Amino acid sequence: MADGRREPKSKYTLDRGMPGAFEGETVTRRRFMTATVHGAGAIAVSAFALPALGFAAGSALFDRPPVEWQGIGPTEDFPDDTYIPRVLTETAGIGQVGKTTVYVRARNQELDPPPNPPGYDEQYIAVSTRCMHLGCPVRYVDAAKRFICPCHGGVYDFNGKVDGGPPVRPLDRFYTRVRDGQVEVGARYSVNSEFRRFPSYRDPAQDLDGIGQYLYPGRFSTPKMD
């Protein structure tokens, strides 16, 4: 003590001369009570905070809606050289907000790239109107054979591939099938610039070429086809 250094204290309460110390006791009762009270408080807070957080985020992140096939008309309605608009219901029960327009045509052997991956060779192409810049609704202009976005000037060619402007990837598509002469539209999927399919569709502005497909992983909240 005289040289300014303190003797290292023993870890045993008995050695430190504490009243009522037990043989081999290292945790003082004050420390024990403090830890107990803090622990009890932490448990009490977690008991309401964790369920509340799970409630707020759980269904938003992990609820996977089922795939719903919607009939959009007989097969002869859809030519292979232009698009026919049809309205789909993406979320039921909320009116206009839950609806989206989709442009549909028959598969065109000359214009369409081969199915990628092979096996997905639908006879009808359903192109989403969701602009892949930031999600505004594009419209198909038949005179130009192009999709044009009103917000920031995105332009897509007849297949939905980016022709100009800020979009980062081709327009999303929907799985299609034919049942009883009716064209049906299923879940949305995304494609990269080689038209490779990404079944868990990505939000607009998420690049899917190169490193983009790893930076923007698929989510747990998109309907699953396979």
Partner 1 sequence: MKLPLPPLPTALRPKPKRPGEGERVKPLDQVKEAGIATVDWVDERTSLSGPARWVMFRKVPKGTNWFYTLGSATLFAFLSQAVTGVFLAMYYDPSVTNAYESARHITNDVFLGEFVRGMHKWGSTLMVILVCLHMARTFFFGAYKYPRELNWVIGVVLLILTFVMSFTGYLLPFDQRSYWATIVGVNINGTGPIAGPFLSDFLRGGAEFGATTLSRFYAIHMLLLPGAIIALIGAHLYLVTKLGTTAPPWLRAESGDGIREESI
Q: Which residues bind partner 1 (CB under 8 A)?
A: 56-57, 59-61, 63, 65, 90-91, 93-95, 97-98, 134-137, 151, 201-206, 215-217, 219, 221-222
* Shortest CB 156 distance to partner 1, Å: 17
Q: Which CB atom, from 100 or from 193, has the smaller least distance to partner 1? A: 100
Q: Is the dihedral of CA 99, 149, 116, 218 positive or negative?
A: negative
Specify the residue, 59 or 123, whose C-beta has the smaller distance to partner 1: 59
Task: For partner 1, give the closer residue by CB, 28 or 91.
Answer: 91
Quick check: 16 and 30 in contact, CB under 8 A? no
**Nearest approach, Cβ of residue 57 and partner 1 (Å):** 5
Contact assessment for residue 153 and residue 141, using Cβ atoms and an 8 Å cutoff = no
For partner 1, give the closer residue by CB, 33 or 52. 52
Q: Which is nearer to partner 1, 74 or 217 (CB)?
A: 217
Q: How far is the CB of 65 from partner 1 (least distance, A)?
A: 8
d(CA 147, CA 137): 10
Backbone region of residue 47 per phi and psi (left: phi > 0; alpha: psi in -120 to 50; beta: other values): alpha
The DSSP letter of residue 95 is G
CA atoms 23, 26, 30, 33: torsion sign: negative
Sign of CA dihedral 73, 74, 80, 81: negative
